[in-house]
Amino acid sequence: MLPFVLYFVTAVVTGFHVYTLLSFAVYGVPVNLLELLSLVGSFCLLIAAYVSLFRPHAAARWALLACLVMWSFYAPAIAKIVRTRWAKPAAVSQFMGATVGATSKHLFIMG
Residues interacting with other proteins, by CB under 8 A? 1-4, 6-10, 13-14, 16-17, 19-20, 23, 25-28, 45-46, 48-50, 53-57, 60-61, 63-64, 67-68, 70-71, 74, 77-78
Nearest to 70 by CA among 26, 17, 25: 17
* Complex with other proteins: residue 27 or 108, whichever CB lies closer: 27
Q: How far is the CB of 79 from other proteins (least distance, A)?
A: 11
Quick one: DSSP state of residue 109? -
If one counts every other C-beta atom within 10 angstroms of the C-beta of residue 33, the result is 10
Q: Is 52 exposed, middle or buried (0-12, 13-18, 19+ CB in 10 A)?
A: buried
Nearer to other proteins, 6 or 34 (CB): 6
Closer of 4 and 34 to other proteins (Cβ)? 4
